[in-house]
Amino acid sequence: MATENHHGSHRHLVDLRLTDGEDPPEAGVDAIIVPTIRHPRWLGHATRLATALGCPLVTLHSRPWSKADRVAALMPYDVRYIAIDIDDVGRLNMPDFETTAIVKGTKFERATDLSAKRNIGLLLSHVMGWERVVFLDDDIEVGGHEDVMRAAALLDRYDAVGMHIGGFPDNSVVCHAHRLAGGDQDSFVGGGALAVETFRNPSFFPNVYNEDWFYLLGETSLRRLAVTGMVKQRPYDPFDRAVRARDQEFGDVLAEGVYWLLDHRIGWAAATDTRHWADFLARRRAFILDVLRRVRQLAPGSRPDPRAMEESLRAALGRLNSIEPEFCVRYIKGWREDRYRWIEHLRKHSLLASDVRDALKWLVKDGAAALNHQPRLNLPI
């Protein structure tokens, strides 16, 4: 079921999508970077992948049960790794992002550190001289290390290379409901399994839901993007907490609103026009109301629970009603300035570190305490 108010797929924006029958070249990977809030036992797949690729594994931890010290006790002897605790985002060596300041103290402020971890991963890669790194979420399993090597090879021509999402779909809560209620819904490239070239045409992850979609944007349109390989996301219940849909809505609106323009071959700069957002917000409301209507038609006892789906959709609608076109324009303009800030920030750190300990000093602001870390230094990194 298609809808005039929602684009269920953006796959036509990808420059290259390799099929199973094609055999692209392979290349080495400089590091696998895993932001995590889970116990280190969730790192098993990433650990095996790093071993197969012969590259270091960088794990970025927060929350009481996810600590760098615990990694040291679980890592196999032949794995090169750097486990880092991200306990205070405020002391990280990051620019003063306008996109963060805009939402601070508002209902759109996001109390997560995923974007900060990914940005720190990019900065660490920059000072270590790592050109080809792979971001991998701890709930993602890659089909095989050969898939990752093929993705790395494509970075010769592309700024980022994603992987096909298999298994449980990688969608927002609203889009999950749309699909389960009969709508056509695809999964786009995401940061959960993304190979990136860190020096050419750099970008950053803003602290907003769909931060990876913003990372993929370039000067006027989408950066050069390819898709290859296969990954599988572990299943979860997207409707277990209605607050999840509420917290996603602002970022979902921004990203879908920008990619709506790209789908129509319009540069994302048009997202600085309030008329676009007035129109898109009306479309978004009509879309969610349509999904809500279809969810209410699902048979009682269906799985997932239609009542939980409805509660999540109502939470999304409540948050949507708070989003104004002018605020969307302000955010997009702030993101545009932040992109230049990030490029300049990387230029200031153009000197490569002599070793891992030296590199870690660049990850915090001047005068801030060093991040707790557990690097295995007896093997060369």
pLDDT at 1: 46
pLDDT for 264-319, tens place per residue? 999 888 999 999 999 999 999 999 999 999 999 999 888 999 999 999 999 999 99
List per-residue pLDDT tens for the chain, 381 residues long: 447 899 999 989 998 776 545 566 888 999 999 999 999 999 999 999 999 999 999 999 998 889 999 998 888 888 999 999 999 999 999 999 999 999 999 999 999 999 999 999 999 999 999 999 999 999 999 988 999 999 999 999 999 999 987 788 899 999 999 999 999 999 999 999 999 999 998 999 999 999 999 999 998 889 999 999 889 999 999 999 999 999 999 999 999 999 999 999 998 889 999 999 999 999 999 999 999 999 999 998 889 999 999 999 999 999 999 999 999 999 999 999 999 999 999 998 887 788 888 899 999 999 999 999 988 755 444
Which sequence spans correspond to the domains of the chain?
11-237+342-367
pLDDT for 153-190, tens place per residue? 999 999 999 998 778 889 999 999 999 999 999 999 99
Architecture of domain 11-237+342-367: Alpha-Beta Complex (3.90)
Q: CA-CA distance, 165 to 180, in Å (whole number)?
A: 17
Record the pTM.
Answer: 0.94
